[in-house]
Amino acid sequence: MGLEGAPQEAITAWSALGSGENSKVGIVLVHGFTSTPSVMRQWAEFLNSHGFTVRVPLLPGHGTSIAELENVSWQQWPAEIEIQINHLLIDCERVFLCGFSMGAAASLHVAAHYQSQLTGLILVNPMIHRKNAWPTAVKIASRLVKSFGTAGSDIKRSDVTQWKYDRTPMRAAHQLLRLLEETRPLLPAIKLPLLLFRSASDHTLPASNSEIILREIGSSVKEQVVLHNSYHVAPLDHDQEIIFAKSLTFIRKFS
């Protein structure tokens, strides 16, 4: 699915102020690689309906054209998340990070440096490695191949759409691998409470990604929830209500 015909609200950043006693709790929800805020919008709206202040950023290079993604460096993705956190910290007393796929890797990178400003982490089908994919090899290949086609959205439901690029620039794939390479060594330093959702059937990322994070992260409080009726894009799939409900419980518990 390309971005042709995408509603503007699906491919742009979105934020909403909270209300009541939960308004001082902020949540940043981060989409994945080649994707858009459309993946996180319903989840954010659910949390906002319970009074939380939410921000769903558009990561640099996304939601526009693959030409823009081709020119992004991996550092720009964590930097955008840091901007969102700093916005929330103006009025919020506690901040949580929710990351999906590559957005989870970028969130982990930020979490390692923002320990004192964050309260908890929620990850959905997170990415932390790509087996048999080496940054140097991909960088060399990018000189010969500009982009490659990507599969359709890995969603079990047939009635929802993840608005995303239908091609991936090779240079951006190299930057993605650099993000993973830089983030994995930081896992032991992360001590935040962690809630991790993993789809039992994920055709995009193997379970080893979640296993590595759960094994290597320094958090003393960490819980895994296995989703049995969703594929990779779980925030839009059949199990989204499980994600919504359990993340709400987690945020209430630690805030």
Catalytic residue among 232, 237, 239, 255: 232
Q: Is 109 marked active-site?
A: no
What single-letter amino acid sits at 194?
A: L
Catalytic residue flag (residue 35): no
Parallel, antiparallel or unpaired: strands 167-169 and 147-149:
antiparallel
Compute CA distances 146 → 65, 68, 170, 207, whole Å: 14, 13, 6, 29
* Helix (H) or strand (E) run with residue 83 in it: helix 76-89
Burial 200-233 (b: 16+ CB within 10 A, else e): eebebbeeebbeebbeebebeebeeeebeebbbb
Instruction: Pick the catalytic residue from 62, 154, 199, 202.
Output: 202
Write the DSSP symbol of residue 191.
Answer: -
Whether 239 sits among the annotated catalytic residues: the reply is no
- Active-site position among 101, 147, 219, 247: 101
φ/ψ of 219, rounded to 5, equals: -65, 135
Query: Contact at 8 Å (CB) between 205 and 232?
Result: yes
Residues labelled catalytic:
101, 202, 232
